Amino acid sequence: MSIGMDRPSGRVLVTGALGQIGTELVEALREKHGHKAVIATDIRESKGCQILDVMDKEGIEKLVHGENITEIYHLAALLSATGEKNPELCWKINVIGLENVISAAKKNNARLFSPSSIAVFGPDCPKIAPQITPLNPTTVYGKTKVVGEQLAITSGIDMRGIRYPGLISYKAPAGGGTTDYAVEIFHAALENGHYDCFVREDTRLPMMYMDDAIRATLELMDFPLEDLSEARGGYNISGCSFTAKALVESIQRHLPHFTCTFNPDIRQTYADSWPDEIQDDVAYNEWGWKANFDLDKIVDDMLENLKISERVATRSSGGSGDGSF
């Protein structure tokens, strides 16, 4: 069977399922396909998730064949900050791990979603990044994502990706990236009323709410392959762009006493090498991508949901929350 031909649908595999994206993507996929049709895996152990190390090529092939997997969402990776601390391991997990998954997908004629990132861009990219531009990332993480996009086109399988911006969500912690400050800040604001931010206040990066990212992923995977161009290795998609200072000010609309200090560390250099904004006209024209969440809407939803989780946690531990939002 060749690339893009109709195939009988089997089960869905998610690698790296316990991470920031996997936690919500598995929920969405189970809602769409039914609980049993979706096999969640990770190198870590948790209820409802099988152990699968993406470095275990045979193990992946056995699972993909044995469970009749016809769609894979490959989320296992090291992110930018963790990756720069251990570049060899980052290369191994992000590139060799991906090659292992591609090999298994190929043998079972499975479709593959493998995320890319705004980290594919380097300092020579225009501050508003177009879809097509030279990709010269300075981080190892970014380089692994460029390889991933190239493999999407050369692998000979139906493989697609999105250059996710920094993702903001409340259901799972951020996993060791440069954009983690935009998630940590909400927890710190509610728990301590203060956050010590590791990038400068004028740092402006492309960001996106997880609801938009999950919807983009499902929409892209639902689209007929023949209608997608070679941008399918990693589509630019835009959510909203804002500075760290603007994020603080938006949080202060709800928590006027919240304070934030700015003490840049090494992650500032990764942030400075990435664009401020993303041009997503290609994704819009090819498969109709459009984001729903702007900064204030993200902040409203994050604080409301974190407050709810806090209240539930307080109730189940027998305490009394203040109940206000």
Least distance to ligand AKB from the beta carbon of 83, Å? 7
Contact set for ligand NAD, span 34-53 (CB under 6 A): 42-44, 52-53
Determine whether 141 is an active site residue.
Answer: yes
**170-196 burial by CB neighbour count: b if 16+ within 10 A, else e?**
beeebbbbbbbbbbebbebbbeeeebe
Q: Phi and psi at residue 118, in whole multiples of 5°?
A: -65, -10
Regarding 118 and contact with ligand AKB (CB under 6 A), the answer is yes
Inter-axis angle of helices 210-222 and 20-33, to 10 degrees?
A: 50
Least distance to ligand NAD from the beta carbon of 305, Å? 17
Regarding 178 and contact with ligand AKB (CB under 6 A), the answer is yes
Regarding 177 and contact with ligand AKB (CB under 6 A), the answer is yes
Stretch that binds ligand AKB, among 113-121, 211-219, 232-240, 278-286 (CB under 6 A): 113-121
Regarding 78 and contact with ligand AKB (CB under 6 A), the answer is no
* H and E: helices and strands count for the chain: 12, 16
In this structure, how many other beta carbons lie within 10 angstroms of the beta carbon of residue 41? 24
Regarding 69 and contact with ligand NAD (CB under 6 A), the answer is no
In this structure, how many other beta carbons lie within 10 angstroms of the beta carbon of residue 278? 27
- How far is Cα 163 from Cα 146, in angstroms, rounded to an integer? 10
How many residues bind ligand AKB, per CB under 6 A?
10
| List 77, 110, 152, 197, residue binding ligand NAD (CB under 6 A) | 77
Q: Alpha-carbon dihedral of residues 98, 31, 1, 64, nearest 10 degrees?
A: 50
* Pairing of β 204-209 and β 240-243: antiparallel
Which residues of the chain form contacts with ligand AKB (CB under 6 A)?
Answer: 79-80, 117-119, 141, 166, 177-179
Q: What positions carry a catalytic annotation?
A: 141
List residues binding ligand NAD (CB under 6 A). Answer: 15-16, 18-22, 42-44, 52-55, 75-77, 79, 93, 97, 115, 117, 164, 166-167, 175-177, 179
